[in-house]
Homo-oligomer: A and B are copies of this chain.
Amino acid sequence: MDVMPVSDLSHAAQNYLKLIWSATEWSPAPITVSVMAERLGVRPSTVSDGIKKLAGQGLVTHAPYGSIELTDAGRAHAVAMVRRHRLLETFLVDVLGYSWDEVHDEAEVLEHTVSDTLIDRMDRKLGHPVRDPHGDPIPGADGRPSMPKGTQLSAAAAGNTVAITRISDADPQMLRYFTELGLAPDTRLTVTEHRPYADVTTVRVHEPERDIDLGASASDAIWVVAV
């Protein structure tokens, strides 16, 4: 059974696979049709049709109303797409001076049209980076994803001192806000407290030392590990 190259898949199929894989990268619950539709900006019926087609190609397993799971072949394609996306983001920031809030949309399109050769050249030029500008791990050329660790800041215990490992790149405006606050991958901070009904998490950051209040969406977008 030959594995077709990613370039033989439609852009839509590539986006589906990448999204299915990404959904389980930081949390274990498998993705649903309606969540996919919302993220991709299409109707659920479109996704339902698309998933059925992917199942026919042996890239996902899915029975009607059942869960959506990648096959080994589907996962290989998905990881290849994630690698493309994250290398592109890194290249745009490191070589072309983009800021981290500008790169996601550009990479979302380019990931489908750059050749394997171009990916290799960017990877070489960048010195085989292992994390993208948002802290997300870049899978290797061999297709082995590097498994990330971490929890959402909103779930980190008060009193702990942690380092930021990744910040979700989903919302450019939020990324610009984090830039203002001086929050980025590798920033260290101490979780001061969670105020549950206000949905506010307070953290203390050094250099300069300061306290920052973060709402639920912000503290969900930031992932941390103990240091």
Interface residues of A (CB under 8 A from B): 92, 95-98, 102, 106, 109-110, 112-115, 117-118, 121-122, 125
Contacts and interface: CB of A to CB of B under 8 A. Distances in A.
B98 A121 contact: yes
A121 B91 CA distance: 12
A106 B95 contact: no
B114 A110 contact: yes
Contacts of A118: 92, 96, 106
A92 B115 CA distance: 12
A106 B117 contact: yes
Contacts of A92: 118
Nearest to A102: B117
Nearest to A118: B106
A121 B92 CA distance: 9
